[in-house]
Structure 1
């Protein structure tokens, strides 16, 4: 049994219901869309966010998550899925987790429309919930994610090499969705403002750790579910390289590295040089330390809640996010 199966055991039935409902809301008359949805289900990972929603709702409720939390998890995962499709088009990615992307199987036009179809399905789901607080959160997620992605491209273009800027961007482009999952799970159980805020913070911390781990993957030459070196090819300077650059002593080396980053397109030779530099100057170790700081803080907040199978699984989920290899 895989680690994620053990983690989701307290909400196993919930996860099954989630998958059924996810497929149902995406039912379509289009053969292309039906094929795309089938392929998406095989390439979008372990569904960490829906599991997070279920476990938080179960912990707060002291039992099975309410049905409404399944509805909420579905619409949040729809938003995430739509952004993945659009990201693959923008990044010109050919594979995701070893599977061909939709823009390769079809073309960019069709892939964008498929992402829009899924995003529209999420908005329908949000309205069907009839909860204005949830609708407000969902309505703001797309804006935050999009702005975060645009800011990342801006930073790459302008070589804005600041750790503070990096954290701010990944908070906006990734952590906001994790935070929304946690907050909406609390809303669905009727939790008070204190719990909403605390669990929103837990979600944000886990999202920050999740993105840093993703960024670390980019520095290794192995199949971890996305093309390695892809961020560097786009000029995106993530935490491992940011830290390594901060250790540069000589002006000549700094000039050389900045010149490599400013090239468009960045050559494979430059990608290799920058990757090796990040690895040899402690970039991965530093990024992992920061990642674990976020995990530890999230677990400290979770430990404020009474012991239960749900809390135990949430703590294990935090560790999984920090240690995952895909």
Structure 2
């Protein structure tokens, strides 16, 4: 990741300072929580996509910094709310907001982050960027609800699966790339192109996550977490499509009724491996990656484009 950050190192450093300023509050408890959030930040992948898209398509501007902050504010807000919904006590090996300050405070913190993001854009007339990102948040909610609906019946077809991950996972990454391009150029065609690029990378990213559940690429033992949570991922969907009626009924029965039984979950994992579900998912992941690369290569070669190419490779080759 060092080479990825190299062309935007100064921008990322300045972004961190601006982001800290943007979340500051005069409320002592809220300000303490904001400092806690900043300390436990992740890899900052989404700001990286914003800045690289801006540099590839044009020039980084103040609007680019605001776009990065908006993406990070809304992304963080959704994570805080997700932890409440999932009753999760950990996030990135840190205690979650709801674990430390309880659910009511966590919900209000998420609302605060959302409002700060909206005001940051509105106060600076970044209406196009706000529309790009707000559309992504709407799609994320729709994708999550669609997944919940389909999980009850375990009847997800491949096209529905792709609609879920396009909305739930890929939409925010697509908006990060599109917002970066718009902030640098104000060009609708370049913005559309980068939106499509980010969407394809987001889909590849989610398929890679699907593969982790099966211990793919020597990352360790299979976890079966998605099966335990009744999530219908691409390797499992493919297996059900290929299976005979008896095997299909067996898999659905285990996922519905014995998803906490380690031995039975391992049985499903083995059936997925034997059916070619993992190979099929990997093939799809790489196909989306190549489509994204083809879009990226419509821009001239540059240090930023090379860094973006490496970031794309990271998405499908990462070990966690």
Output the TM-score relative to the length of structure 2.
0.90
- After superposition, residues 98-177 of structure 1 pair within 5 angstroms as 98-177=93-172
After TM superposition, the runs of 4+ consecutive aligned structure 1 residues lying more than 6 A away are none
Contact kept, 8 Å, 1:126 with 1:138, in 2: the verdict is no
- CA gap of 1:133–1:191, structure 2 versus 1, over 3 A, is closer
Matched residue count: 315
Question: 2: distance between equivalents of 1:229 and 1:33?
Answer: 37
Contact kept, 8 Å, 2:235 with 2:278, in 1: the verdict is yes
Q: What is the DSSP-based 3-state SS (H/G/I as helix, E as strand, rest coil) of the residue aligned with 2:185?
A: coil
- The aligned residue for residue 89 of structure 1 is 84
- The aligned residue for residue 315 of structure 2 is 321
- The aligned residue for residue 22 of structure 1 is 19
Gaps of 5+ in 1: none
Residue 301 (1) aligns with residue 295 (2): yes
Contact kept, 8 Å, 2:89 with 2:95, in 1: the verdict is yes
Q: What is the DSSP-based 3-state SS (H/G/I as helix, E as strand, rest coil) of the residue aligned with 1:118?
A: helix
Question: 2: distance between equivalents of 1:219 and 1:127?
Answer: 44
Contact kept, 8 Å, 1:216 with 1:284, in 2: the verdict is yes
Please state how far the C-alpha of 1:23 moved relative to its aligned partner: 1.2
- CA gap of 1:99–1:215, structure 2 versus 1, over 3 A, is farther
Question: 1: distance between equivalents of 2:133 and 2:158?
Answer: 28
Q: What is the DSSP-based 3-state SS (H/G/I as helix, E as strand, rest coil) of the residue aligned with 1:167?
A: helix
1:278 to 257, 264, 272: 272
Gaps of 5+ in 2: none
Contact kept, 8 Å, 1:180 with 1:200, in 2: the verdict is yes
- CA gap of 1:111–1:193, structure 2 versus 1, over 3 A, is same
Question: 2: distance between equivalents of 1:217 and 1:9?
Answer: 29
- The aligned residue for residue 51 of structure 1 is 48
- The aligned residue for residue 75 of structure 1 is 70
- CA gap of 1:25–1:201, structure 2 versus 1, over 3 A, is same
Question: 2: distance between equivalents of 1:119 and 1:196?
Answer: 23
Q: What is the DSSP-based 3-state SS (H/G/I as helix, E as strand, rest coil) of the residue aligned with 2:24?
A: coil
Question: 2: distance between equivalents of 1:32 and 1:192?
Answer: 42
Instruction: Between 93-102 and 161-170, report the one with greater CA deviation.
Output: 93-102
Question: 2: distance between equivalents of 1:252 and 1:147?
Answer: 33
Cα RMSD, aligned residues only: 2.2
Contact kept, 8 Å, 2:169 with 2:206, in 1: the verdict is yes
- CA gap of 1:138–1:312, structure 2 versus 1, over 3 A, is same
- CA gap of 1:107–1:42, structure 2 versus 1, over 3 A, is same
